[in-house]
Amino acid sequence: QVQLVESGGGLVQAGGSLRLSCAASGLAFSNYAMGWFRQAPGKEREFVAGISWSGGSLYYADSVKGRCTISRDNSKNTVSLQMNSLKPEDTAVYYCTASGTIAVLTTSPFYWGQGAQVTVSS
pLDDT, one tens digit per residue, over 4-23 is 999 999 999 999 999 999 99
What is the sign, positive or negative, of the torsion defined by CA atoms of 82, 58, 27, 106? positive
Which uninterrupted H or E stretch holds 59? strand 58-60
pLDDT at 101: 87
User: Per residue in 51-74, pLDDT tens?
Assistant: 999 999 999 999 999 999 999 999
pLDDT at 59: 95
Q: CA of 118: how far to CAs of 1, 80, 85, in Å?
A: 27, 14, 13
> What rounded mean pLDDT belongs to the chain?
96
Query: Which of 39, 45, 32, 54 is closest to 105 using CA atoms?
Result: 32
Task: State the Cα–Cα distance between residues 16 and 28, nearest whole angstrom.
Answer: 34
For residue 103, is pLDDT > 90? no
